[in-house]
Amino acid sequence: MRRDRRINMDFGLTEEQRIIQDTFKSFCDKELSWEYVRWMDENVDFPPDELWQKFVDIGFFGAAAPEEYGGQAMGWVDQMLAYEQICKKSMSVALAMGVTSGFGVRFINELGTKEQKDKYLPLIVEGKWKTCMALTEPGGGTDILGALSTFAEEKSDRFVINGQKVFITGAHVADGLITICKTEKDVKKAKSWSTFIVPREAKGVTIGKIDKISCHHCDSVEIFFDNVEVPKEELLGTRGNAFYEIMTVLNPERIAVAMMGVGITAAIYEACMQYVQDRNAFGGPISRFQILQNY
Ligand SMILES: Cc1cc2nc3c(=O)[nH]c(=O)nc-3n(C[C@H](O)[C@H](O)[C@H](O)COP(=O)(O)OP(=O)(O)OC[C@H]3O[C@@H](n4cnc5c(N)ncnc54)[C@H](O)[C@@H]3O)c2cc1C
């Protein structure tokens, strides 16, 4: 007798996930109208404070943070359901909010000491500490292990950083720059990196604007480090182990990048569907033509 070994898997959303999706859809429909997104793209290099505060109020920055720090410790599917709705409206807003919620919460929560978590996580959840991740350098991003040359030299109770980063999203407004530097000289490259939390206001930090062809309401900029002194307490994670550590942070972040593609594609599809039903030609909506029905 053949045994039926099929397992029924339910890929549908739970009731709670549907509520998250609906809540963020309504929120984004209200706060990210096409007119407002266009206004931002033509006038600002980062979403205005009022919009930032609305994301704080809806709990966006606490989504991934542990409950003891005021967060909701939501799972990845739940977080991405919310994120998709933002991506459908504005890639810039998704980037702007995403670097603090994604890089900020994850770097601190995964790699931080108890003191660092106590210091930074509540501030992130309350929207009072913006951050960014400074990894890419002018020498290259894909081959970052070969390209990274920004160096943090140990000097008594601090590290002194010299070098340059490029394309760093949100660094021009970030309070803390999560910066990956080389700290070791005579070891394998993969064992030579360390991560630091560098205050953007630190002496020797300079930001340079990069003109982009899109996503103007969330700049990605250059950072120059000229003898920037960082106390040893701002070392994040284990010295020399950052290459391996940032993989644990960056792998889930790729899911968020994929959601940008999903969100943008869904938004285009919905806009096209609406357009072919509204637009008339030859006495009726163009949606009745066979070529358009193929889609
Ligand atoms: C909008 C935006 C935001 C960004 N935000 C951040 C940020 O917040 N923080 C940060 O650290 N970085 C950020 N980056 C930088 C990003 O991570 C790099 O652009 C990326 O890693 C690619 O590096 P690169 O631009 O130097 O291109 P390169 O590494 O020089 O690559 C150039 C081209 O060669 C191709 N290529 C390279 N190697 C291979 C290979 N082995 N096989 C096939 N093709 C290959 C690449 O796909 C690419 O098309 C951002 C970039 C953009 C565009």
Q: How far is the C-alpha of 40 from the C-alpha of 92, rounded, in Å?
A: 9
Whether residues 114 and 67 fall in one domain: yes
Confidence bin at 6 (pLDDT 50/70/90): confident
Q: Which helix (H) or strand (E) holds 83?
A: helix 76-89
Q: Atom of ligand 1 at shortest distance to CA of 180?
A: 11
232-261: average pLDDT = 94
45-58: average pLDDT = 98
267 CA distance to ligand 1 centroid (A)?
A: 25
Backbone φ and ψ for 22, nearest 5 degrees, come out as -65, -40
Residue nearest to atom 25 of ligand 1 (CA): 141
Q: How far is the C-alpha of 166 from the C-alpha of 246, rounded, in Å?
A: 18
What is the per-residue pLDDT for 1? Answer: 56
Query: What is the SS3 string spanning 105-162?
Result: HHHHHHHCCHHHHHHHHHHHHCCCCCEEEECCECCECCCHHHHCCCEEEEECCEEEEE
Within-domain flag for 224: yes
Please report, rounded to a whole number, the percentage of residues in the chain having pLDDT higher than 70: 99
Number of structural domains (the chain) is 2
Does any ligand 1 atom lie closer than 6 A to the CB of residue 178?
no
What is the per-residue pLDDT for 76? Answer: 92
Does any ligand 1 atom lie closer than 6 A to the CB of residue 180?
no
Within-domain flag for 1: no
Three-class SS state of 52: helix
165 CA distance to ligand 1 centroid (A)?
A: 13
Whether residues 82 and 177 fall in one domain: no
What is the per-residue pLDDT for 237? Answer: 97
Quote the mean pLDDT of the chain: 95
233 CA distance to ligand 1 centroid (A)?
A: 31
Bridge-based pairing of strands 205-208 and 220-231 is antiparallel
Domain CATH number, residue 113: 1.10.540.10
What is the per-residue pLDDT for 3? Answer: 66
Within-domain flag for 241: yes
Confidence bin at 37 (pLDDT 50/70/90): very high
**What single DSSP character describes residue 189?**
G
Which domain does 53 fall in, by range? 15-130+256-271
78 CA distance to ligand 1 centroid (A)?
A: 28
Whether residues 68 and 84 fall in one domain: yes
Does any ligand 1 atom lie closer than 6 A to the CB of residue 236?
no
Does any ligand 1 atom lie closer than 6 A to the CB of residue 208?
no
Whether residues 87 and 168 fall in one domain: no
Within-domain flag for 267: yes
Whether residues 138 and 125 fall in one domain: no
Does any ligand 1 atom lie closer than 6 A to the CB of residue 107?
no
Three-class SS state of 295: coil
Query: SS3 helix, strand, coil % of the chain, rounded to 5?
Result: 50, 20, 30
Within-domain flag for 281: no
Confidence bin at 2 (pLDDT 50/70/90): low
Q: Atom of ligand 1 at shortest distance to CA of 137?
A: 26
Whether the per-residue pLDDT at 295 is higher than 80: the answer is: no
* 119-159 pLDDT tens trace: 999 999 999 999 999 999 999 999 999 999 999 999 999 99
What is the per-residue pLDDT for 253? Answer: 87
Whether residues 150 and 223 fall in one domain: yes
What is the per-residue pLDDT for 46? Answer: 98
CB 162 within 8 A of CB 151: yes
Whether residues 139 and 239 fall in one domain: yes
Does any ligand 1 atom lie closer than 6 A to the CB of residue 214?
no
Listed in sequence order, the residues at least 6 apart from 242 whose beta carbon sits closer than 8 Å to its beta carbon are: 180, 193, 194, 195
CA distances from 6 to 2, 267, 278 (A): 12, 36, 45
Q: How far is the C-alpha of 164 from the C-alpha of 243, rounded, in Å?
A: 18
* 80-130 pLDDT tens trace: 999 999 999 999 999 999 999 999 999 999 999 999 999 999 999 999 999
200 CA distance to ligand 1 centroid (A)?
A: 23
Domain CATH number, residue 201: 2.40.110.10
**How many Cβ atoms are within 10 Å of 229's Cβ, its own excluded?**
14
Whether residues 105 and 163 fall in one domain: no
Residue nearest to atom 6 of ligand 1 (CA): 168
Within-domain flag for 265: yes
* 158-205 pLDDT tens trace: 999 999 999 999 999 999 999 999 999 999 999 999 999 999 999 999
CA distances from 246 to 139, 166, 243 (A): 19, 18, 6
